[in-house]
């Protein structure tokens, strides 16, 4: 369902206040609302609410009126499905914020949902480097692997309707997007050739896939992993897709020797995955790591094109220039050097 027309900036605060009164009571008032950084396709707002005996800190996730075109293989699941998946994951032992309500037409804010605020860090460079999280990082790769296994083992009949993308469909759709961009890049072409040569080795079994599980999309506290965020492109797909995506170079934030999200080893990630009942196929993880570096490289190219077309945001420029980083990552993946 497309997002409803978005209110003007002037009306936004009034609509948020009305939404809060509707769901939490007529005497509740919004005392602060702050746009949170990050998010290429959705907005996130921190909302502080006070009322008689009530002090709440919430997060509003909403789809803006105009969302840039994304690749066909990463179509959004929809905010309602994103919220429902989080509700399903909580009793399965996957740490997620509590969803309070899903927006409807009476809220007047378009498509989205409201969830509880969860304290912790989400900025990737701080997660992988800050001394305050040193102890939390000791088991973080293991805990992320366990969380992914619990996601992947969710019975299909418990899930909302989600798109199903087989590996060949994923590869074909990614190549069509590359052709639409209309600019040949030799490293990307080599990656496509390698993927075509190796795709036949993948196990055909599919399951629920988060789609964007990476450092920067979870909340970390000093006690460890607190919440998995950003379920917007969850789908039915190949389970090793999530593990490969977690390991691509861009999500290490400079900690290149810690391939599991910049926080640990592949061995720790795999051990956590298998401890929760999953089965790791290391060669398939490598396949999806190549695919992830390639698709993120295409995204970076698209961000650069959007900047050139007039969307002069810092985010578009900063991400757009990273296409070359993904080319370097792909060369290292496709032609690994033996350690000295």
> Which pLDDT score, from 0 to 100, does residue 307 have?
75
Residue 129 predicted with pLDDT over 50: yes
Residue 297 predicted with pLDDT over 90: yes
Q: Place 39 in a pLDDT band, splitting at 50, 70 and 90.
A: low
Backbone torsions φ then ψ of 116, nearest 5 degrees: -65, 145
Output 36 or 277, whichever has higher pLDDT: 277
Q: Which of 4-8, 38-42, 85-89, 320-324 is predicted least confidently? A: 4-8
DSSP string, 167-229: HHHHHHHHHHHHHHHT---HHHHHHHHHHHHHGGGS----EEE-S--STTSEEEETTEEEEE-
CA distance 239 to 222: 29
Q: Which two tokens stand for residue 218?
A: 């979870």
Q: Place 326 in a pLDDT band, splitting at 50, 70 and 90.
A: very high
Q: Place 3 in a pLDDT band, splitting at 50, 70 and 90.
A: very low
Q: How confident is the model over 111-125, as pLDDT tens digits?
A: 999 999 999 999 999
Q: How confident is the model over 192-202, as pLDDT tens digits?
A: 999 999 999 99
Q: How confident is the model over 142-156, as pLDDT tens digits?
A: 999 999 999 999 999
Residue 209 predicted with pLDDT over 50: yes
| Domains located in the chain, CATH noted | 9-13+29-334 (3.90.1200.10)
Give the percent of the chain with pLDDT over 70: 93
Task: Find all residues with CB under 8 Å of 189, minimum gap 6, and list them.
Answer: none
Output 319 or 262, whichever has higher pLDDT: 262
Residue 315 predicted with pLDDT over 80: no
Q: Determine which helix (DSSP H) or strand (DSSP E) holds 35, and give its type and residue range.
A: strand 29-35
> Which pLDDT score, from 0 to 100, does residue 37 have?
75
CA distance 337 to 340: 9
Q: Which of 173-177, 215-219, 306-310 is predicted least confidently? A: 306-310
């Amino acid at each position: 369902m497309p997002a409803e027309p978005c209110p003007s900036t002037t009306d936004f605060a009034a609509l948020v206040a009305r939404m809060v009164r509707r769901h939490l009571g007529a005497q509740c008032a919004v005392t602060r609302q702050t746009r949170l950084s990050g998010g290429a396709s959705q907005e996130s707002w921190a909302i502080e609410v006070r009322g008689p005996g009530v002090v709440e800190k919430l997060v509003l996730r909403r789809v803006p009126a105009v969302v840039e075109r994304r690749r066909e293989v990463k179509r959004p699941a929809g905010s309602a499905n994103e919220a429902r998946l989080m509700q399903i994951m909580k009793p399965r032992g996957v740490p997620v914020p509590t969803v309070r309500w899903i927006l409807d037409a009476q809220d007047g804010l378009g498509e989205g949902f409201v969830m509880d605020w969860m304290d912790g860090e989400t900025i990737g460079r701080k997660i992988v480097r800050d001394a305050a999280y040193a102890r939390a990082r000791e088991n973080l790769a293991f805990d992320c692997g366990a969380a992914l296994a619990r996601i992947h083992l969710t019975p299909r009949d418990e899930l909302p309707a989600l798109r199903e993308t087989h590996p060949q469909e994923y590869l074909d759709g990614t190549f069509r997007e590359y052709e639409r961009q209309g600019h040949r890049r030799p490293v990307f072409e080599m990656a496509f050739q390698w993927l075509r040569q190796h795709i036949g080795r993948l196990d055909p079994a599919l399951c629920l896939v988060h789609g964007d599980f990476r450092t920067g999309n979870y909340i970390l506290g000093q006690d460890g992993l607190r919440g998995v965020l950003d379920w917007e492109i969850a789908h039915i797909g190949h389970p090793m897709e999530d593990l490969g995506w977690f390991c691509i170079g861009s999500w290490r934030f400079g900690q290149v020797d810690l391939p599991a999200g910049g926080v640990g080893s592949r061995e720790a990630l795999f051990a956590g995955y298998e401890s929760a009942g999953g089965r790791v196929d290391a060669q398939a993880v490598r396949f999806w790591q190549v695919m992830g570096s390639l698709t993120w490289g295409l995204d970076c190219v698209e961000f650069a094109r959007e900047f050139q077309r007039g969307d002069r945001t810092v985010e578009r420029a900063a991400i757009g220039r990273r296409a070359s980083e993904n080319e370097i990552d792909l060369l290292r993946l496709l032609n690994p050097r033996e350690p000295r």
